[in-house]
Structure 1
Amino acid sequence: MIHILYVVLALVALNLVAMWGLSRLRRGRARTGGMGALVAVDAVLAVLLVLEVAMALFFAQSDGFNITMSSRNWFARHWHPVNSLGYRDAEPRPKAPGEKLVLVVGDSFAAGHGIDNVADRFGDVLGRKLGAGWRVANASKIGWDTVDEDKALESYPQTPDVVVLAYFVNDIYRAAEKAKFPLPFAVRFPKGAVTGYLVDHFALANFVYWRLARMGNLEDAAKTFWDRLRAAYIDPAVWGEHARELDSIVDWCRKRHVRLIALIIPSLADVAGTAPMTARVAAYFKGKGVETVDLTPVLAGRDPGDMVVNSVDTHANVKLNAEMAGLLEKAILAPAPAASGAD
């Protein structure tokens, strides 16, 4: 808000200078016209200032990239509780006698990116559906991939009875990096000192800039990224590296007799386009004898607008989180199949 104050002070100073200049003119059309123009300009600037203050104080909207001021406002308002492990969840605690612990591990989808109330996240909804004798905890962070999720399992202070691995199709990112198969996503930040200052410090300029960017460079960058991501899944070196990452999670659960359920999430903006990727992941887990809840066939043909948080955040909305919880409830309460597949 300090930057808005600077603008107000600057406008007051400019008005004083303008008024002084107009006062030196003789009465006539020039002076009258000048006063009219000054009033009109001030009216426009006043409206912009009101909009700026309103957006800075009240406009909070998540976006998928978390690069806008409105998204930062959203996180400040909604991203809680955060426990001592850094997860958006209650503090971990030992299991009560007879209690079964479900641990949801994943990235932004599991952490609830875009979900205002943490109680509406699929893991929390699942906990209420399972009822007495069950507890669902969350070990997820934005931007995580399979390697991060594996480390989270190993370091979690309690051994769960069930692990729900929320797999999103960009979880292969680290494997692609190791295999020297770059997955670039170049975001063009504002250039120039003035533009950069306005976009970084003023909510209205920030909103306009990033909305325009989404129709230009961000859309092009996203298309390039998804094309490369599809290619990564059929690259033998990348997939081999990724399979080893997934093996580590499967082996961790198997050695501790922990039931593993893979929740496979396609791109909600393009379910059909990511179907070959989710199919390969589902085939991997099934080959290992791991239970899968593959959302691709469930969501095929649906309007993305009915599934996502908003037009600039393609994470799952509250309704879809509830649906995922229902599918997981059925999977967890069904008898666990006998372990099979290669070790």
Structure 2
Amino acid sequence: MMSKLVSSIFRICLLGAFFVLLFLPDRVGITLSYPQYPLSDSLFLRLCKTVFWVLVAVELLRCFYYGVVKNTKRGWVSNLMTLLFPLSLFLIFVEVIFMFVPQSHEGVLSKASQIWWSKYWKPLNALGYRDREPQPAPGKKQVLVIGDSFSAGHGLKTVDERFSNQLEKKLGEGYEVRNLGVSGSDTGDEAKRLAEYPVKPDVIVLQYFPNDIERVAQANGLKITGGQPFDDVKGIAEQVVRRFYLPNFIYWQLPHAQFSTFDQFVEKAYSDSTVLKNHFSDLSKILAYGDSTGAPVCAVFVPFLFQLDKSEGYTRPVEDFLKEKGVKVITLKKEIAAIPEKERIVGKNDGHASAAVNAVIADKLYEIIK
């Protein structure tokens, strides 16, 4: 009996080597390679981790059986094992479950959001857009939607809920709406990607969000200050929260200190004449491309969904600039205000626009384009 107990303990120690390979590869200089790395664990890697935890559970079960159940000499060690064994099995079981639980989150920060991204961020074309392949469609007018994660449909499980896809259905057979949304994109990046896209537009839709000025503002000396994710956990606790699914999920359900002073940053950016001048230069590139292709440009302003008045105040200089250039500007304050706050976003940890807000955007664009 003792030999079987010792052999189980020995196998658990051997599993420690696999633990390092699966959970701490960066600590031993190992670089993994698969399509989503390092953004998320691949399905194969999560399955390998599941097998690892099953093997650990089996060896713990053997230790408990031979160390407690078959042991006639009970002591404090046996009592401690009786307490820890079911707790360990429960934690292993829940950890495995949460390796397959998706939940969208802004910035793909949590492990649950990484699972969500791997599961729902489809289709993905050859250019990296969450859209159909960029092949010409003779006889159809081409509407190109350029924007950031709000255009790409972050948090929406299906692209059918996005405003670009809803708009295409409304416009009918004579139109094709192509989505050039990229999470984290700003106006300068959007101008570049629009010019490089292989399909020429008949209409350009610029989706604008108040953080579109962020990079040009930082390039001109403005800084976002404040804490960063995981700053409020230290040492081993930080590693546990970062690397394991159950602690990571719990961490992102709890309130934390404000990660940044982004609100103050945006207010300064839109009131800084130098920043605005450079930002207008990026916007002018989009307008110039529209002129060169003969495609009219319309701009839809998506506000901070819980700060409608502030957003309108921040981006007013950009609205005025675009109107002066002949761009049709669409604002959504009135329509979004009519939607209950909880129904404006895709989830409690993700402030991106819900399908209901996307429907409002599609309706407003349809009125302009059709």
TM-score, normalised to structure 2's length?
0.80
SS of the aligned residue for 2:277 comes to helix
| CA contact 2:143–2:176 (8 Å) conserved in 1 | yes
How many angstroms does 1:21 deviate by?
A: 6.1
Report deviation, 1:327. 1.0
After the TM superposition, which residues 1-20 of structure 1 pair with which residues of structure 2 at under 5 Å, given as runs? 1=46, 2-3=48-49, 5-7=51-53, 9-10=55-56
| Contact 2:57/2:92 (<8 A) preserved | no
Mapping of residues 48-59 of structure 1, within 5 Å: 48-57=91-100, 59=101
User: Counterparts of 1:119 and 1:21 in 2: how far apart (Å)?
Assistant: 57
Question: Per the alignment, in what secondary structure is the counterpart of residue 268 of structure 2?
Answer: helix
| Distance in structure 2 (CA, Å) of the matches to 1:282 and 1:288 | 10
Alpha-carbon distance in structure 2 between the residues aligned to 1:23 and 1:261: 73
Counterpart check, 1:248 vs 2:277: no
Query: What CA deviation, in whole Å up to 9, does each residue of 1:150-179 have, x standing for no partner?
Result: 011110112100000000110001220221
Identity %: 32
What corresponds to 2:259 in structure 1? Answer: 221
Counterpart in 1 of 2:175? 134
Q: Secondary structure at the match of 2:185?
A: coil
The answer to whether 1:82 aligns with 2:124 is yes
Q: Post-superposition shift, 1:183?
A: 2.9
Structure 2 counterpart of 1:47, which letter?
A: F
Q: Which moved more, 1:102-111 or 1:88-97?
A: 88-97
**Alignment match, 2:329:** 292
CA displacement at 1:230 relative to structure 2: 1.3
Q: Contact (CA 8 Å) 1:265, 1:278: kept in 2 or not? A: no
Distance (whole Å) between structure 1 residues aligned to residue 53 and residue 238 of structure 2: 16
Is the contact made by 1:94 and 1:158 (CA closer than 8 Å) also made in structure 2? yes
What's the counterpart of residue 183 of structure 1? 224
Q: Is the 8 A contact 2:64 2:82 kept in 1?
A: no
CA distance in 2, matches of 1:26, 1:96: 83
- In 2: Cα distance, 1:104 partner to 1:24 partner: 69
Query: How far 1:271 moved relative to its partner?
Result: 1.8
- 2:187–2:283 contact (8 Å) kept in structure 1: yes
Verify: 1:100 aligned to 2:141, yes or no: yes
Indicate the residue corresponding to 2:350 in structure 1.
Answer: 313
Q: Does 1:114 align with 2:155?
A: yes
Compared with structure 1, are the counterparts of its residues 139 and 25 closer, same or farther at alpha carbon in structure 2 (3 Å cutoff)? closer
- Provide the C-alpha distance between the structure 2 equivalents of 1:42 and 1:19, rounded to a whole number of angstroms: 10
SS in 1 for 2:127: coil
Determine whether 1:70 maps to 2:107.
no
Which residue in the other structure is 1:91 paired with?
A: 133
| SS in structure 1 at match of 2:108 | coil
- Gaps in structure 2 of 5+ consecutive residues: 1-45
Q: How far 1:14 moved relative to its partner?
A: 5.8
RMSD: 2.5
2:251 is matched with: 209
Report the alpha carbon displacement of residue 288 of structure 1 after superposing the two structures with TM. Answer: 1.4
SS at match of 2:99: helix
2:315 aligned with 1:274, yes or no?
no
User: Match for 2:143: what amino acid?
Assistant: V
Q: CA offset at residue 106 of structure 1?
A: 0.3
Aligned residues: 323
1:148 aligns with 2:189: yes
Q: State the match for 1:331 in structure 2.
A: 368
Partner residue of 2:82?
39
Q: 2:341 aligned with 1:304, yes or no?
A: yes
Q: Displacement of 1:39 after TM fit?
A: 3.4
Tell me the SS of whatever aligns to 2:129.
coil
Among candidates 242, 247, 251, match of residue 200 of structure 1: 242
What does residue 337 of structure 1 align with? Answer: none
TM-score of the superposition, structure 1-length normalised?
A: 0.85
Deviation of 1:9 (Å): 4.8
- Give the superposition deviation at 1:184: 4.2
